[in-house]
Amino acid sequence: MSDDYNTPPLTLAALVESLLFVADEPVPVAQLATALNVTPREVESALVELAQAGNAPGRGLRLQRAKDRVQLTTAPAAADHVERFLGLESIQRLSHPALETLAIVAYQQPVTRPHIEAVRGVNCDGVIKSLLSKGLIEESGRTEGPGRPILYCTTPAFLQHFGLSSLADLPQLNLDAKGESAPPLGGDTEDSAPAESPIDASEPEPPAAPTLEESHAP
């Protein structure tokens, strides 16, 4: 019996999906294009096709994108089952101060620590270090102002943690809260000390950031 099969060639979208499946981290579009010997524009078209397929009801995988990097993740609705399967049920959830700080970064990125502290009204040095260590935010440069403070933005791990395909999936910001500080989320004392650093009053204060809901979708 012959082992030869008349298997039709895979589409570009299927090939891109295969590479993303075996990748252990988000992959730049340019890297996918080089690996498949096609143009970035062709890869972008394939990614649109994959995203549409992933959004179909009943699918267990989603295409997740952070700037020019993409990866495959599990659907947010499967998070509890995946956590149980991998034994991740005991993972510590983020504190209220961490969620509040992360929401400000997500909606206003890139932002500086003084800017975050201006919104929250407390010192955020400890919670920022915690978010950095968890890989949910990262440094993205420095401002040109006095002291050149560090700018922070979210990471692909942030999208994965909250079950988002991209930053465009963030809940709509409540514009009625413009100019007000972010509402307190609880009595956690992780960073309740008064801010020690002077706050740059020249930096505009962003509108209040809504609460983020954790998903932990791997």
Question: Is there a contact between 135 and 94 (Cβ–Cβ < 8 Å)?
Answer: no
Number of structural domains the chain divides into: 2
Amino acid at 160: Q
| pLDDT digit string, tens, across residues 137-195 | 999 999 887 888 999 999 988 888 888 888 888 888 765 544 444 433 333 334 433 33
Angle at 69 between CA 117 and CA 52, to 5 degrees: 110
Q: What is the extent of the structural domain holding 38?
A: 12-74
Residue 79 belongs to a domain? no
**pLDDT at 1 (0 to 100):** 47
The residue with greater pLDDT, 101 or 217, is 101
The residue with greater pLDDT, 93 or 216, is 93
**pLDDT at 91 (0 to 100):** 55
The residue with tokens 């979210």 is 154
Residue 6 belongs to a domain? no
Note whether 116 and 39 are same-domain residues. no
Residue 86 belongs to a domain? no
Note whether 216 and 141 are same-domain residues. yes
Note whether 60 and 96 are same-domain residues. no
CATH number at residue 36: 1.10.10.10
DSSP code of residue 60: S
Judged against a pLDDT cut of 70, whether residue 205 lies above it is answered with: no
Least confident of 22-26, 54-58, 133-137: 54-58
The residue with tokens 């524009």 is 41
| pLDDT digit string, tens, across residues 65-123 | 888 899 998 888 887 888 788 776 555 678 899 999 999 999 999 999 999 999 999 99
Note whether 136 and 201 are same-domain residues. yes
Question: Is there a contact between 114 and 205 (Cβ–Cβ < 8 Å)?
Answer: no
Note whether 105 and 190 are same-domain residues. yes
| Beta-bridge mates of residue 150 | 142
Note whether 103 and 179 are same-domain residues. yes
Question: Is there a contact between 118 and 199 (Cβ–Cβ < 8 Å)?
Answer: yes
Average pLDDT over residues 43-59: 88
Residue 69 belongs to a domain? yes
Note whether 67 and 27 are same-domain residues. yes
184/144 Cα distance (integer angstroms): 31
Residue 179 belongs to a domain? yes
Q: Which residue, among 198, 140, 206, has the nearest Cα to 179 in the 3D structure?
A: 206
The residue with greater pLDDT, 199 or 108, is 108
Note whether 102 and 140 are same-domain residues. yes
Note whether 98 and 184 are same-domain residues. yes
Our measurement of the distance from residue 91's CA atom to the centroid of its chain's CA atoms, rounded to an integer in Å, reads 18
Note whether 210 and 137 are same-domain residues. yes
